[in-house]
Every structure is written in C-alpha cells, then in structure tokens.
C-alpha cells in the first residue's frame, strides 16, 4: 500500500513536470519596459560594469560575459580541449588534462566560485568543478587562464563543488554518485546499502599562490550530495551540503529515492575537522590522483600523481558532522549574507525550509536529536527551523540574496523567480522566466555584501526565445533589474552550452590586475628563442626541435629541410612581440593536431610526425597585420 502511494505521488509529480514543460508561460515577447534597452545599453567603446563567469556545462569551458550588455567576451577552456588557442593540443597544456585515468579531454563544468577575502570578492581566482571525472580547477583572473586542476579520489560525480569558505581557506568537492571506495571496488550493484560510500573533499588553497592540495576527505554515507555553501560570520567554521537519496536506492531513483518525506542538509564543522586531521584522527588511504599545474614563467604545465589522501571517518571524530532533516530531495543549499540562515530547496517540496544557524548550535548543545543516520546525529527538524516560505511555487532550486535582506529563489517547474524577505519569510514578488530556470545569480549574491542591482536567470529550456537553429537550440540567460520593489526583465542573451551557474563581479576588481603581455626576457620556457638570430633547427636521433620566432610579419626559419618521414618534429614558437593584443598562431598542413596561439612574449609547442614525403606549408593562423598572409613557410620532408 505504501509503495503504491509513493508511485502515485511520483506519477502525479511527473505529470506536473511534463505538463508544466509543455505549456510554458505564454508570450515570448513578454512585458519588457521601454526603459529596458537603455538599462542594458553599453555604448560602443565603453566597458560593461560587471564581468560574468558563466559555466559551460557539457562543453567543459567557462565563458566570460559583460553585464549588463550580455556581450560574450571570451571562452576560457578548463576541462575540454580548445582548438581556438591549442589548449590540450599544445605540448605545454596537455598535462592540464591528465588524470589517474590518463588524458581526459572533456568534463561537465557546472559551478563557479569567485575567491573571497573576509566574505567579499577579491578578484583573484575563479574555481570550477568537473563533475564527471571528479576535478576542481583554478583560473587566475589576472591572465584568465586555467592554472591548476586537481583530481578528487574516492569520489564520483563532483557536483556540490567548488564552493568556498569565507576567506577561500578551502574549496570543497563531494560525491554525487556514491560508489564503492577503498579496497573493495568490484561488488554487486545491489549491495549499494552496504558498500557504496562517498567523501567530501576539503581542498586547501594557499592564500598567496592559490595552489590547491587536498587537506583531508570526510567519509560520507552512501547518499547523493548535490550542492553546498560555506558559512559566514558566526557560521564561518561550518559548511552545509544538500543531500538526496537518503533511501540509498541504486535503481529507479525517480521513485525509490523520493520515497521519504525528508532528506538532509549535512553540516560539517571544518574547523573541528582540521583539528582532528592535525591530531592524527585520520587515516592515509592509498589512492592515485593527478595534480596539474601551469607555470607562467615556463608557460608549461606539469602533472604529478599523488599516492595517498587523508580520510577522516565521522565515527572517529565526534561533533564534526550533523544532519538536519530537509524536505524532499533538496537541491540548492544556500547561506544568507549574515551567515545565520541556511536555505534548503527540496525540489519536490511544497515549502522552502529556512534553517537557523543559532538554533542549530543550540540543538547540538542540547543534543536535541531525532536519531542517527549511519552513526551521524540527526537534529530535530523543528529544533533547527527558522521557518518555511509557504507556497513559493513549484520545484524550488536555488536561492541568492541582495543587499536589502531579500532572497530570490528559482522555481524550475513553475518557471519563475520568487522574491521573499529573509526576516519574515514573506513573499514579495514573482516574475516568469523563459523557461525552466536552474540557477540564478544576484550580483555578489553569495558574498557577505551583495551588490544587488542585477540578477540573471540561467534557464534550462529555450523554446521560442531565439531564431531556431535546428533541433539544438541555444541555451539562455535572462537579466533582471532588481533595484526596485518589483523585478523587471531587461534582456535575453544566449549562452555557450548549458549555463548551470555563474558568478559576476565588478570589472574594477579585475581590470587593474590584468596581465597585458609576458616580458620576453622573463620567458623561462626551455625552448624559448629570445631573438630572431637565435632561431635554429636541431636534431637528436629522430627528434627534431625547431626553435622558431614570430614577429610581424615573418616566421623564422621559414624554409626547413632535412626532416625525414617518421621524425618527431617539435615546433617551439616564440612570439617576440611586446605589444598588447598581437598574438601569432601556427598551423602546419596535415598535422594531426590543432593550431597553437602564442601570446606576446610566450612560447608554445606544436608536435608533428610527418607520415609521407612532401612539402608541408605552415602559416600564422591569427590575422596580425596587413602582411599576415605573408607569415608562412615550408617544411620539406624527405623519404628515410
């Protein structure tokens, strides 16, 4: 009888989901005020106010937009190879995509975290997560480059990541797909409940260099971790994670993982975890994971394989992990600017629960538990609840905050954003999104001091918003003005692949730090050629190194002979320019590879193994001057 009811409610939920998707709010040309165009217009030659870093989802990249114009400025490769600049193709960048499973040139990038100091944006780094091969990347906002990628062992489906603590002490990773970990990995799938587990990784970030290393992992029961946020102010020492599938189903999750009324928000006291790690409460597990670092002096990435990781088991570490019951399959888990309120968003719940950090501390002190789950104390729902936002809409997902004490929650199923007041949980306004919004992003929304002003909806479904482009439509974002009482739609702009999440920051935080060129005299690449007169070709066995230079408007050397079929030829191209915005590119006919793009002062290498005799033209691929077409040359390949 019970399971029949469950099936019934799931069937009706599926019905709601399907019917909502087939009858989105009507009127693609919905109300936009005549002021909207003015509000988003950035005159030619003027800059946008905000940089917006938008995840590319299944394209594994990060795109950079200007706001409020919605202009696409750049695509930054992170977890995927990128022919535009040779990322993952050049000899220097291949190591960035190395993993314990070898070269993995794709991932699913969902989330973005901008580094903060004392809870406010500092404009230094952006962290992103790779979901599929669990990884975390760090990009530097001075050069807009992926500088570091660290793989997370003992995990699968790194979804609630790369969220950060207030001072960027840590960036976290987690396990969405529980898997057998440790030494027993080949087990029947139906032994999920006994054998499947996960970890939460706390990756320490060096405050000066930004370098990451996994400080410790915390063993978690076999439930699915979805999203997370670090505490602020009084909750500074804590991290909160949403988790679903506390049923621990391993099949038909849409039925079996939604059986229970409540799942959990997991609260971790990371300060305490640090102490336990220091006190030797953890165990070093033998594992293998890659740590890839790009060095800006040598313009080269190196990959190191690390062989163990420190794991803390909550069983050995009391008062470190707690569960707060949260209705029903929570997705979003967000902390307000004060650090007092934690918002869990049950996708299937009728209300939005808001938890109080103060009450949580009191409940912990009073041991006000309703029981334990896998040995971890479960606090009483009523004891930790600040209150519920009633009848917010259908399918609450994510919440962000403005500077005036308001919260904004995305509603996937009813395709809208609901604005409510944190203090009294009163709903103040609602506005449709086109269509089926996932995340939303308020300017500075995850920080201690939100800027407000604009909010962007990142939508899962586009339907009729743009000119159709075949069966595959562009994904879509929408910009809203949130400066007044009512939210106002200003602009639609298409995004690059699926924009799960994004975070924006004032352009003024970055512009000053922006690297313009690399000084040629500081180039420490082992094959750098620091002047045209130094260009040369060397041979060692069947390895040929071409030390080549590029400067408007010639490549040196431009006639290369003496290469034989089967040789491994390395073109090390140094761009001798010392002017801003004069890259040169390089490609050679038939190379089973991409081009490379070399910034002023930089050296990059394209490897080529000719398989037949002939004359192979090469040329500069980036239009660099009136004589760009003249930047070309020939490689002669002779029979052995």
User: In the complex, which residues of this chain contact ligand CUA (CB under 6 A)?
Assistant: 550, 584, 620, 622-624, 628, 631
Q: Which of 86, 330, 339, 438 binds ligand CUK (CB under 6 A)?
A: 438
User: Cβ of residue 587: shortest distance to ligand CUA, in angstroms?
Assistant: 11
User: Cβ of residue 586: shortest distance to ligand CUA, in angstroms?
Assistant: 9
CA–CA dist 451, 333 (Å, integer): 21
CA–CA dist 378, 598 (Å, integer): 55
631 binds, among ligand CUK, ligand CUA, none (CB under 5 to 8 A by kind): ligand CUA
623 binds, among ligand CUA, ligand CUK, none (CB under 5 to 8 A by kind): ligand CUA
Q: Kindly tell me which of 86 and 134 has the beta carbon lying closer to ligand CUK.
A: 134
Q: Please tell me whether residue 501 binds ligand CUK under the rule CB under 6 A.
A: yes
438 binds, among ligand CUA, ligand CUK, none (CB under 5 to 8 A by kind): ligand CUK
328 binds, among ligand CUA, ligand CUK, none (CB under 5 to 8 A by kind): none
Contact flags string 44-63 toward ligand CUK, x per CB under 6 A: --------------------
Q: Kindly tell me which of 69 and 160 has the beta carbon lying closer to ligand CUK.
A: 160
User: Cβ of residue 467: shortest distance to ligand CUA, in angstroms?
Assistant: 33
Residue 95 DSSP class: G
Site for ligand CUK in 209-228 (CB under 6 A): 227
Q: What is the DSSP string of 299-363?
A: TEEEEEEEEEEEEE-GGGSTTSEEEEEEESSEEEEEE-TTSSEEEEEETT-SEEEEEEHHHHHHH
* CA neighbor of 85 nearest in space, from 530, 578, 602: 602
Query: 132 vs 107, 129, 182, 441, 533, CA distance in Å?
Result: 6, 9, 19, 24, 47
Q: Kindly tell me which of 262 and 347 has the beta carbon lying closer to ligand CUK.
A: 347
Q: Kindly tell me which of 98 and 128 has the beta carbon lying closer to ligand CUK.
A: 128
Site for ligand CUK in 157-196 (CB under 6 A): 159
CA–CA dist 255, 247 (Å, integer): 10
Q: Kindly tell me which of 293 and 631 has the beta carbon lying closer to ligand CUA.
A: 631
User: Cβ of residue 189: shortest distance to ligand CUK, in angstroms?
Assistant: 23
CA–CA dist 557, 634 (Å, integer): 9
Query: 565 vs 108, 395, 580, 617, CA distance in Å?
Result: 39, 62, 39, 16
Site for ligand CUK in 358-397 (CB under 6 A): 397
Q: Kindly tell me which of 95 and 407 has the beta carbon lying closer to ligand CUK.
A: 407
Q: How is residue 45 written in tokens?
A: 């030659």
Strands of 437-442's sheet, edge to edge? 437-442, 454-459, 475-481, 488-495
Q: How big is the chain by its Cα radius of gyration, in Å?
A: 26
CB burial readout 565-577, b (16+ within 10 A) else e: eebebbbbbbbbb
Q: How is residue 499 written in tokens?
A: 């924009």
CA–CA dist 223, 176 (Å, integer): 8
Burial class (CB in 10 A: 0-12, 13-18, 19+), 204: middle
501 binds, among ligand CUK, ligand CUA, none (CB under 5 to 8 A by kind): ligand CUK
CA–CA dist 484, 382 (Å, integer): 34
Are residues 241 and 333 in contact, defined by beta-carbon separation less than 8 angstroms?
Answer: yes
Q: Which helix (H) or strand (E) holds 410?
A: strand 406-411
* CA neighbor of 505 nearest in space, from 28, 54, 198, 33: 54
Q: Please tell me whether residue 229 binds ligand CUK under the rule CB under 6 A.
A: no
User: Cβ of residue 585: shortest distance to ligand CUK, in angstroms?
Assistant: 35
110 binds, among ligand CUK, ligand CUA, none (CB under 5 to 8 A by kind): ligand CUK
Alpha carbon of residue 636 to chain centroid: 45
User: Cβ of residue 187: shortest distance to ligand CUA, in angstroms?
Assistant: 57
User: Cβ of residue 603: shortest distance to ligand CUA, in angstroms?
Assistant: 15
Q: Kindly tell me which of 410 and 575 has the beta carbon lying closer to ligand CUA.
A: 575
User: Cβ of residue 550: shortest distance to ligand CUA, in angstroms?
Assistant: 6
Contact flags string 105-124 toward ligand CUK, x per CB under 6 A: -----xx-------------
Q: Is 13 helix (H, G, I), strand (E, B) or coil?
A: helix
User: Cβ of residue 202: shortest distance to ligand CUK, in angstroms?
Assistant: 20
Alpha carbon of residue 61 to chain centroid: 9
Q: Please tell me whether residue 127 binds ligand CUK under the rule CB under 6 A.
A: no
Q: Kindly tell me which of 104 and 624 has the beta carbon lying closer to ligand CUA.
A: 624
Q: Please tell me whether residue 299 binds ligand CUK under the rule CB under 6 A.
A: no
Question: Residue 26: CA atoms inside 13 Å, Cβ hemisphere, count?
Answer: 0
User: Cβ of residue 537: shortest distance to ligand CUA, in angstroms?
Assistant: 20
Q: Kindly tell me which of 227 and 457 has the beta carbon lying closer to ligand CUK.
A: 227
Q: Which of 121, 135, 359, 439 binds ligand CUK (CB under 6 A)?
A: 439
Q: Kindly tell me which of 501 and 586 has the beta carbon lying closer to ligand CUA.
A: 586
User: Cβ of residue 623: shortest distance to ligand CUA, in angstroms?
Assistant: 6
User: Cβ of residue 176: shortest distance to ligand CUA, in angstroms?
Assistant: 45
Q: How is residue 601 written in tokens?
A: 């002062």
CA–CA dist 524, 216 (Å, integer): 34
Residue 14 DSSP class: H
For β-strands 351-356 and 283-295, DSSP reports them as unpaired
Q: How is residue 147 written in tokens?
A: 């500088």
Q: Kindly tell me which of 23 and 626 has the beta carbon lying closer to ligand CUA.
A: 626
Q: Kindly tell me which of 335 and 520 has the beta carbon lying closer to ligand CUK.
A: 335
Q: Kindly tell me which of 172 and 544 has the beta carbon lying closer to ligand CUK.
A: 172
User: Cβ of residue 626: shortest distance to ligand CUA, in angstroms?
Assistant: 10
Number of H helices, E strands in the chain: 8, 44
Q: Which helix (H) or strand (E) holds 566?
A: none
Contact flags string 326-345 toward ligand CUK, x per CB under 6 A: -----x--------------
176 binds, among ligand CUK, ligand CUA, none (CB under 5 to 8 A by kind): none
CA–CA dist 111, 53 (Å, integer): 10
Alpha carbon of residue 97 to chain centroid: 15
Q: Please tell me whether residue 500 binds ligand CUK under the rule CB under 6 A.
A: yes
First-to-last CA distance in the chain? 79
Give residues in contact with ligand CUK (CB under 6 A): 110-111, 159, 227, 331, 397-398, 438-439, 500-501
């Amino acid at each position: 009888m019970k399971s029949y009811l469950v099936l019934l409610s799931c069937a009706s939920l599926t019905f709601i989901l399907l019917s909502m998707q087939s009858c989105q709010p009507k009127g693609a040309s919905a109300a936009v005020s005549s002021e909207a165009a003015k509000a988003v217009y950035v005159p030619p030659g003027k800059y946008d106010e905000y940089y917006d870093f938008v995840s590319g989802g299944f394209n594994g990249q990060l795109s950079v937009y200007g706001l409020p114009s919605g202009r696409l400025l750049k695509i930054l490769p992170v977890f995927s190879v990128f022919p535009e600049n040779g990322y993952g193709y050049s000899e220097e960048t291949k190591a960035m995509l190395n993993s314990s499973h070898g070269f993995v040139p794709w991932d699913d990038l969902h989330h973005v975290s901008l580094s903060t100091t004392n809870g406010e944006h500092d404009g230094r780094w952006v962290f992103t997560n790779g979901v599929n091969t669990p990884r975390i990347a760090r990009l530097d906002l001075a050069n807009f480059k992926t500088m570091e990628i660290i793989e997370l062992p003992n995990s699968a489906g790194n979804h609630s990541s790369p969220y950060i603590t207030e001072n960027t002490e840590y960036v976290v990773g987690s396990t969405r797909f529980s898997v057998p970990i440790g030494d027993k990995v080949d087990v029947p799938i139906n032994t999920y409940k006994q054998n499947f587990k996960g970890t939460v990784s706390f990756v320490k970030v060096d405050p000066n260099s930004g370098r990451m290393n996994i400080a410790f992992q915390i063993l978690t029961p076999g439930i699915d971790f979805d999203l997370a946020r670090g505490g602020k102010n009084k909750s500074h020492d804590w991290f909160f994670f949403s988790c679903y599938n506390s049923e621990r189903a391993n099949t038909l999750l849409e039925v079996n993982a939604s059986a229970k009324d409540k799942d959990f928000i997991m609260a971790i006291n990371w300060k305490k975890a640090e102490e336990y790690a220091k006190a030797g409460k953890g165990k070093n597990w033998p594992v293998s994971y890659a740590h890839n670092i790009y060095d800006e002096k040598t313009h080269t990435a190196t990959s190191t394989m690390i062989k163990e990781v420190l794991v803390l088991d909550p069983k050995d570490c009391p008062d470190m992990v707690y569960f707060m019951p949260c209705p029903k399959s929570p997705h979003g888990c967000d902390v307000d600017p004060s650090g007092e309120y934690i918002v869990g968003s049950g996708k299937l719940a009728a209300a939005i629960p808001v938890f109080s950090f103060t009450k949580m501390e009191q409940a912990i002190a009073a041991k006000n538990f309703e029981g334990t789950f896998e040995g971890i104390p479960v606090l009483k729902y009523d004891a930790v609840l600040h209150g519920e936002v009633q009848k917010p809409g259908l399918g609450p997902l994510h919440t962000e905050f403005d500077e005036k004490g308001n919260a904004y929650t995305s509603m996937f199923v009813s395709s809208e954003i609901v604005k409510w007041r944190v203090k009294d949980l009163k709903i103040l306004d609602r506005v449709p999104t086109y269509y089926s919004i996932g995340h939303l992003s308020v300017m500075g929304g995850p920080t201690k001091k939100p800027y407000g002003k604009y909010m962007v909806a990142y939508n899962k479904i586009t339907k009729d918003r743009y000119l159709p482009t075949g069966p595959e439509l562009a994904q879509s974002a929408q910009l809203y003005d949130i400066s007044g009482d009512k939210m106002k739609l200003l602009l639609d702009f298409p995004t690059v692949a699926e924009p799960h999440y994004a975070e924006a920051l004032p352009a003024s935080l970055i512009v000053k730090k922006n690297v313009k060129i690399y000084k040629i005299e500081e180039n420490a690449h082992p094959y750098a050629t620091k002047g045209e007169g130094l260009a040369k070709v060397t041979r060692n066995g069947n390895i040929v190194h071409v030390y080549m230079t590029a400067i408007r408007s010639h490549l040196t050397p431009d006639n290369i002979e003496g290469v034989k079929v089967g040789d491994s030829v390395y073109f090390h191209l140094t761009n001798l320019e010392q002017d801003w915005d004069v890259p040169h590119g390089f490609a050679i006919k038939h190379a089973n590879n991409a081009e490379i793009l070399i910034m002023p002062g930089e050296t990059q290498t394209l490897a080529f193994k000719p398989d037949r005799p002939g004359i192979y033209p090469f040329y500069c691929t980036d239009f660099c001057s009136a004589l760009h077409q003249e930047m070309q040359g020939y490689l002669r390949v002779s029979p052995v």
